[in-house]
Chain A
């Protein structure tokens, strides 16, 4: 079983499960491999070609995959995070954006790109009004570009958005403001893989839940584990600060999927809205269905 995740503290529940070796203890006979990939698109391709069995990523690419017939469903959510659109001080509203301004998002199908389209629709009346301004940059590069003045606005995630504010930016709008409190990352598997590995996946979700509980009940201990996982790249104090950012909640319950799906459908990104949460969730979420 290969579990793929991305280098971002939003995946902390999975980092903890890996770092603490919980899955190895619970499933001694299963060869579990953890793979960190820099792009959600790479994880998606890996799952379609069956090199990756459990993927983790954002809400929008997941919904797009559902619509395109990838055949995956939600195993669990990981967290909710408030994503800020941070702009230079002279941009008071999106109306101040001109053709030479650049706004960075992490991928054309990312939740951030969808947030930007929703903001464009709300403020400017056209969801695609800011497409010519959009540039695709990974979070660390996006932060550097914003700090260096190469971009006017950045739509990233914690802790980069906090750094961008510290570098002189201000929050123009946020994902919670646009869509309400909603899931940032979740884990998903192909339905046909779930059917043949129900027991193992049930245990994986139990371990994720255990990590989520730890993040909520003892963030200090969680920060110690994350700092150990990052092998010196992140101090315990910084990890604690990042894990307890206001607006970040650790939960396995998915939220906001149908709200995002309705918007993505209304602007033509997906051809239909999932009938209900149960049509995109696996039984692992039966006790705690999302919305």
Chain B
């Protein structure tokens, strides 16, 4: 007997009676999430009201929403977000570019492969934020240090994923390419890169997650200049000035951007590798 998709839904009641669990699972996914969010916010508001926590320790959802809106309207959060995203974009671009160069070199030569293996195993486990003090010494107290730390956070996970992608390319595909006379860069561009696409996308996804955490952490430690600091600095400064709702508003902004990018990646995957039936299994 074929199992219908209805029965495979999470929380589906296979007994067939109409229970609360079943009616919950029949709601559309977005509605279920909105309800959970609404309940969480209500509990939060109730906790703040009932526990009489100091407004200097914990902010109510209402105060956070007000800070969030006013922060975006007066350009403070928008400006900080812009600064963060700019450093992030430059750092990621440099990181991805270098990762591609490294992997292509590693595919061509054994020395390159050995070198890449050694550097990734040495530097990938190192949290990139740990090299911030060095970056400041090398590049000074400016955005360059942040860009460097982000690039370092990005380059190794991408390099690992792309090399794995290249190595697991179907041998038949590779042979066909070689038989057609493809060599060097053309072999990489026409056979290896498209075949490794699922690994590349998941590498960029992992890299984004590392980069995003790294840039916020770096900005918390070293806020660039006061007038043009990013989101991490915004949070730090708000804490100094005891504007706790602003601290929360900064955190909400970080979470929202994280969600938006995650959704973007999922859409990209659905339109490419999933649609073409080649999703990476790792």
Q: A residues engaging B (CB < 8 A)? A: 41, 44, 48-49, 61, 64-65, 68-70, 102, 107-109, 128, 131-137, 145, 148, 150-151, 269
Q: Is the CB of B227 within 8 A of A131?
A: yes
Q: From residue 212 to 265 of chain B, which have CB atoms closer than 8 A to chain A?
A: 222-228, 236-237, 239-242
Q: How far is the CA of A135 from the CA of B224 in the complex (A)?
A: 6
Q: Is the CB of B54 within 8 A of A48?
A: yes
The 10 A-B residue pairs whose C-beta atoms are closest, nearest first, are A132-B227, A134-B226, A131-B227, A68-B242, A131-B226, A109-B240, A108-B240, A48-B56, A135-B141, A132-B225
Q: How far is the CA of A224 from the CA of B9 in the complex (A)?
A: 75
Q: Is the interface of B mostly helix, strand, loop or mixed?
A: loop
Q: Is the CB of A108 within 8 A of B237?
A: yes
* Residues on the B chain within 8 Å of A61, using CB: 240
Checking A44, A132, A135, A145 against B242 with a beta-carbon cut-off of 8 angstroms, the contacting residue is: A44
Q: Is the CB of A132 within 8 A of B226?
A: yes
* A153 CB to nearest B CB, Å: 12
* Residues on the A chain within 8 Å of B240, using CB: 41, 61, 107-109
Q: Is the CB of A49 within 8 A of B57?
A: yes
Q: Write the chain A residue with the least CB distance to B140.
A: A150
Q: How far is the CA of A52 from the CA of B61 in the complex (A)?
A: 28
* B211 CB to nearest A CB, Å: 23
* Residues on the B chain within 8 Å of A68, using CB: 56, 242
With A41-B239, A64-B241, A70-B242 known as contacts, the answer to whether A151 contacts B225 (CB < 8 A) is no
Tell me, yes or no, whether B55 is within 8 Å of chain A by CB: yes
Q: Is the CB of A134 within 8 A of B241?
A: no
* Residues on the B chain within 8 Å of A108, using CB: 226, 236-237, 240-241
* B187 CB to nearest A CB, Å: 46
Q: Is the CB of A150 within 8 A of B57?
A: no
* Residues on the B chain within 8 Å of A64, using CB: 241-242
Q: Write the chain A residue with the least CB distance to B241.
A: A109
Q: Write the chain A residue with the least CB distance to B54.
A: A48
Q: From residue 134 to 155 of chain B, which have CB atoms closer than 8 A to chain A?
A: 136-137, 140-142
* Residues on the A chain within 8 Å of B136, using CB: 150
* Residues on the A chain within 8 Å of B224, using CB: 135
Q: In this complex, which of A65, A131, A135 has the most chain B Cβ atoms within 10 angstroms of its Cβ?
A: A135
Q: How far is the CA of A61 from the CA of B54 in the complex (A)?
A: 18
Q: How far is the CA of A111 from the CA of B194 in the complex (A)?
A: 58
Checking B141, B223, B241 against A145 with a beta-carbon cut-off of 8 angstroms, the contacting residue is: B141
Q: Is the CB of A151 within 8 A of B227?
A: no
Q: Write the chain A residue with the least CB distance to B228.
A: A132
Q: Mark B103-141, 1 if CB is under 8 A from A, else 0.
A: 000000000000000000000000000000000110011
Q: How far is the CA of A117 from the CA of B54 in the complex (A)?
A: 30
Q: How far is the CA of A145 from the CA of B56 in the complex (A)?
A: 33
* Residues on the A chain within 8 Å of B239, using CB: 41
* B48 CB to nearest A CB, Å: 15
Q: Write the chain B residue with the least CB distance to A116.
A: B226
Checking A44, A48, A133, A135 against B223 with a beta-carbon cut-off of 8 angstroms, the contacting residue is: A135
Checking B57, B222, B236 against A48 with a beta-carbon cut-off of 8 angstroms, the contacting residue is: B57
Q: Write the chain B residue with the least CB distance to A113.
A: B226
* A48 CB to nearest B CB, Å: 5
* B9 CB to nearest A CB, Å: 45
Q: Is the CB of A134 within 8 A of B57?
A: no
Q: Write the chain B residue with the least CB distance to A131.
A: B227
* Residues on the B chain within 8 Å of A65, using CB: 242
Q: Is the CB of B226 within 8 A of A69?
A: no
Q: Is the CB of A102 within 8 A of B141?
A: yes
Q: How far is the CA of A282 from the CA of B61 in the complex (A)?
A: 35
Checking A49, A109, A132, A151 against B141 with a beta-carbon cut-off of 8 angstroms, the contacting residue is: A151
Give me 19 A-to-B residue pairs in the complex whose CB atoms sit less than 8 angstroms apart, sorted by A's number. A48-B57, A49-B57, A70-B56, A102-B225, A107-B240, A109-B240, A109-B241, A131-B226, A132-B226, A132-B227, A132-B228, A133-B225, A134-B225, A135-B141, A135-B225, A136-B222, A137-B141, A150-B136, A150-B141
With A64-B241, A64-B242 known as contacts, the answer to whether A128 contacts B227 (CB < 8 A) is yes
